[in-house]
Amino acid sequence: MTSELGSWLRGQREALGWSRADMARRLITAAREADGDIVPDPENLRHSIYRWECGLAGVSGPHRLLICRVFGIAPAQFGEHGADGPGQPDGLPESTALSDRAASRLRGVSFEDALLPRVCGQRLTAGEHLPRDENRMSDFGAELARWMLTRGMGVRELHRRSGYSAGYISQLRQGQRVPSPEAARDLDDTLSAAGALAAAASTPKAASATGRRTFVGLTSASTFGAIFGGVPHSADALASALTDLDAASQQEPLGDISTLTDSANAARGHYQACRYARLAEDLPGLLRRLNAFCAILEGDARDRAHALAADAHHVAASLMLKHGDPGLASLAADRSMRAAIASGNPVAIASSARIITHALMNGGHHATAVATATSYASRLDRDLTDPTPGSLSVYGALLLRGAVAAAQDDNRPTAHELLAEAENAARRLGQDANHCWTAFGPINTTLHRINIAVTLGDAGTAIDLARGIRLDTIAVTERKATLLIDTARAFLQRARHENAYLALRAAHQTAPEEVTGRASVRDLVRELAATAPPTVKRDATQFAASIGAAQ
């Protein structure tokens, strides 16, 4: 991609008033509408936009169509004022170019359809799942495979001719997806199947009663509950604990404040060790006991209980963010801050500001997240003229969270400014420790610098920094896994697929639940498997299948 075309792309984005993060979100929405086989994680796509605009990488055919979709222009107008001019862009391999019909399909999606996806002609509301009809799917998949073999047409060629993504076609052929009537007709036309595919899609066998009962059960289950399949009802129990503030209804034995402190510390330990299923099982009871203690204790003991409640709700919010439940995460973060304020402890309040910042950042409110982090850090610095190791650690960790939020908002100067202040705090602390469960210190600050470098598209810087860190110097498992995942993202940005694969395998060995339980990491593994060269593709594909991230 030429620098002129990169300038055009950036000019179009800025004319719409979008940050790179805004554009990434819109591209992901468009990809989902189009049944894209790769829907990358927002951070990786934001890095790609940075590289495109700097002329460091070319834009693939599918990405060009999505960009045209979100810009509201025809594909022929892509880079119209740049070096490539109208028509098919220079350097775009024929195998990746989509047909005019595919382009019109992308352009033809209404705004309403963009908000509510359709599958098989049925409009799905949030949290609803389409019933899985095994007989129908098997019949269509077998018929599709037969006609592809008859016409000598592979998945990629059918993708090129029909405009449907390679991943979607593969899932249809393997019986993993139900085709919409329109998709069945389009594929029938492309393969000249004389109506055979359309007929296979429109004549399903009767679904069994068992299948219907399974569907009813699925529609009433939360996404979070599905993640913890081995821990029945843990998601519902956690949601109930977060919304039940009536301490008088407490039925469990309370124990004493020392026992409760041990339980709260154990919860933090589970989180840092990436034992998320165990944590989800323990949290509901812990939160209820803490709420009860806060209601019945008085004086200093009550303040201590509030501080413990603030920390436990912080952990709950972090767990929700890990596993993609922003609603409960925001609720838990609010509970954390309310308890911290009730404790009157400036360090507890600043610590809760970290999770408020994280929840805001996760919701795309990056500027507000930065303002929250900086204002609470300044307040803590002002209130504590003689900082302790704990307060200094919370101060530095809060600055790091603000720096990450700034990077995600493409605000490089602010990100580096906050990083520099956090590094100053780390030098004052002297060494990495785990005061107030922050894992803060010089090494931890470097880990955040790596994350921020990847976020800003500086993959080379991230890789160079990662090379200088020994894993055995990182005490917290969650931090080790995050470093390996960030390093994999950096390698993937540089198209070094084997290195990315090895880093992700190492992350999985270090913390299996950090890889299998996080949607963003599974998306990263899918992207690796989809883009890897033949020398790596088989291993990457098998790894993706082993963690439930198969295409």
**C-alpha to C-alpha distance for 242 and 8, rounded to whole angstroms:** 48
Given a cut of 90, whether residue 477 has pLDDT beyond it is: yes
Residue 110: pLDDT band with limits 50, 70, 90:
very low
Residue 199 pLDDT: 81
Which residues have C-beta within 8 Å of that of residue 221, sequence separation ≥ 6? none
Query: Model confidence at 499, in pLDDT bands (50, 70, 90)?
Result: very high
Residue found by looking up tokens 């940075």 in the block: 50
Instruction: Find all residues with CB under 8 Å of 93, minimum gap 6, and list them.
Output: 61
Mean pLDDT value of segment 441-445:
97
Note the pLDDT tens digit of each residue in 294-326.
Answer: 988 899 999 999 999 999 999 999 999 998 889
| Digit-coded pLDDT (tens) for 508-518 | 999 999 999 88
pLDDT in tens, 47-106: 778 778 877 677 777 788 888 888 888 888 888 753 333 333 332 223 333 333 333 333
Q: What is the secondary structure of 336-357 as a DSSP string?
A: HHHHHHHHT-HHHHHHHHHHHH
Q: Kindly tell me if the per-residue pLDDT of 405 is higher than 80.
A: yes
Reported as half-sphere exposure (CB side, CA atoms, 13 A), residue 58 has a value of: 11
User: What value does the mean pLDDT take over residues 424-453?
Assistant: 96
pLDDT of residue 378: 94
User: Is residue 64 within 8 Å of residue 75, measured between CB atoms?
Assistant: yes
Q: According to the 3-state scheme, what is the secondary structure of 30-43?
A: HHHHCCCCCCCCHH
Rounded to 5 degrees, φ, ψ at 329 are -60, -45
Identify the sign of the CA torsion 542, 544, 549, 551: negative
Minimum mean pLDDT among 135-149, 216-230, 372-386, 501-515: which range?
216-230
